[in-house]
Amino acid sequence: MRTTADAVVIGGGIQGLSCLYHLAAKGIKNISLVELDLLGSGSSGRSAAMLVLSMGRAETIELSFVAWKEYMAFAEMFGESTHFKQIGYLTVATRAAEQHLRGEIAVQSKMNVPIEILTPRQVKEIVPSVNIDDVVLGSICRTDGVIDPHAVMHAYARGAKQLGAEINERVQATGIVLENGRVVGVETTSGKISTPLVVNATGARAKEVGAWVGLNLPITNYKRHIFITDEFKAIPQSTPFVMDLEAEWYFRKEGENVLMGMGREESTLFEPQFEPEFQEKVIERAAHRAPILLNAKIIRGWAGLRALTPDDLPVLGYAPNVGGFVNCCGWGGHGVMHAPAGGILTAEIIADGRATSMDVTPFRYERFEKM
Ligand SMILES: Cc1cc2nc3c(=O)[nH]c(=O)nc-3n(C[C@H](O)[C@H](O)[C@H](O)COP(=O)(O)OP(=O)(O)OC[C@H]3O[C@@H](n4cnc5c(N)ncnc54)[C@H](O)[C@@H]3O)c2cc1C
């Protein structure tokens, strides 16, 4: 492992790897990444893998546009595919969620996201298995889809290494060395790396790492479960991702199988425990929203953490009052789709002195001081 680097990225999830690649691509070649376990072993390897433009806020839609550009040029850039499948993203709203969905559609339309409003009957035409008895409104973005986050991480890792970056798995950062209010090194389980610059891309542990330099990142980790059924042909391949907004329950096709996701339980553990009994809650919602799924057998599942800030926006850029500490964290439920944006913007901030791909003011740490 290098003992001196121009920058150290802590965290080998999709965001850390994107930062590593984009920093190297900007000419910062002597750069090192440390990952306490294996690459992608955190939330990035446990997501539902959706890539969508139909986000609910102007800021997150803009992040999607920045990310989308790179994802669509990915094979050309890296010689590796994201395995993007344009399945579409369909949302259903009950009366309780109607205003929420109307608000999202208004922002999406304003920002030229190709969103279509659906009547409950149109929802039923697109996905006959959906129960629309209590649905008052729907929407679909047909250009949204699913990617393979592992392929993306592999491409970033390979690309970064080719540019001279170093990746260290099973090496945990244990502290930041400061001198006169500036970063001068990172302590790790394999020794110290002297560096003037650190990127905090530690996902669910970002609050802990931020505290090493006196930050109080208001990040709370929420657990979400995903379950996979056995082969289930009654839901055809043409089915879009379906989100039940009120219950935050969703399903989509996963190969010949079906993937279902749900859950928002606060977690104090960094290693989220999978609870097989949680499937009862998921099935309960399936029984209501897509009863045909009761005929499918759940064969496996997992749990992952979504690291959320109070305003559900990420934290990007230099921390105040400490030189050389940069955050790229708090990605909540959209860190996979926004991975190119996280890396591009972080690299612009560090290498160019400011982000130019989009306005990052809403993502600054300082916003929490006003809350
Ligand atoms: C069930 C579920 C479904 C989701 N679905 C989607 C989706 O459809 N689309 C989407 O865009 N997003 C989705 N997300 C969110 C997405 O998974 C995350 O936002 C994203 O993976 C965050 O990436 P990250 O690199 O910031 O964090 P992580 O992938 O968690 O990476 C952080 C890494 O840092 C390492 N680390 C932490 N501390 C240290 C340390 N001290 N030293 C060294 N290494 C350290 C960890 O081991 C970890 O590997 C979902 C999340 C869940 C849980």
CB atoms within 10 A of CB 103: 12
pLDDT score at 290? 97
Q: Does domain 89-142+220-308 have CATH number 3.30.9.10?
A: yes
Q: What is the pLDDT of residue 271?
A: 86
Q: Position of tokens 């979400």? A: 224
Are 117 and 126 a contacting pair, CB within 8 Å?
no
- Between helix 14-25 and helix 149-162 the angle, nearest 10°, is 30
User: Tell me, what's the pLDDT at 336?
Assistant: 98
> How confident is the model at residue 187, as a pLDDT?
98
Taking the centre of ligand 1 as the mean of its atom positions, its distance from the CA of residue 43, in whole angstroms, is 3
SS3 content of the chain, % helix, strand, coil (to 5): 35, 30, 40
Residue 311, both tokens: 């305003």
CB 210 within 8 A of CB 216: yes
Average of pLDDT values for 316-342? 97
**CA–CA separation, 173 vs 11, rounded Å?**
9
- What ligand 1 atom has the least distance to the C-alpha of 331? 19
Q: Which atom of ligand 1 is nearest to the CA of 305?
A: 53
The answer to whether the CB of 168 is under 6 A from ligand 1 is no
Q: Is 304 in the pocket of ligand 1 (CB under 6 A)?
A: yes
Q: Is 32 in the pocket of ligand 1 (CB under 6 A)?
A: no
> What is d(CA 86, CA 54) in angstroms, rounded to the nearest whole number?
13
Band of pLDDT at residue 189, cut at 50, 70 and 90? very high
Among residues 140, 135, 138, 139, the alpha carbon closest in space to that of 94 is found at: 135
Question: DSSP 3-state assignment of 83?
Answer: coil
Rg value, the chain, Cα: 21
Per-residue pLDDT tens over the stretch 278-311 = 899 999 999 999 999 999 999 999 999 999 999 9
In the reported structure, the alpha carbon of residue 269 is separated from the centroid of ligand 1 by a whole-number distance in angstroms of 14
Choose among 312, 304, 305, 303: nearest CA to 218: 312
CA of 142 to the centre of ligand 1 (A): 26
pLDDT at 272: 86
**Ligand 1 pocket test target in 1, 8, 43 with most atoms within 8 Å of CB:** 43
The 10s digit of each residue's pLDDT in 211-269 is 999 999 999 999 999 999 999 999 999 999 999 999 999 999 999 999 999 988 899 98
pLDDT at position 312 is 96
Contact status, residue 309 vs residue 219, Cβ threshold 8 Å? yes
Domain boundaries, the chain: 7-49+149-219+311-370, 89-142+220-308
Q: Which of 17, 37, 38, 44 to mutate to test the pocket of ligand 1 (most atoms within 8 A of CB)?
A: 44
Ligand 1 contact, 54 CB (< 6 A) = no
Q: Which residues pair with 266 in a beta bridge?
A: 222
Q: Would the pLDDT of 90 be above 90?
A: yes
Atom index in ligand 1 nearest the CA of residue 329 equals 26
Helix 98-110 to helix 58-72 angle (10° resolution) is 60
Q: What is the mean pLDDT of the chain?
A: 97
Spatial contact of 141 and 54, defined as CB atoms under 8 Å apart:
yes
7-49+149-219+311-370 is classed in which CATH architecture?
3-Layer(bba) Sandwich (3.50)
Shared fold status for 7-49+149-219+311-370 and 89-142+220-308: no
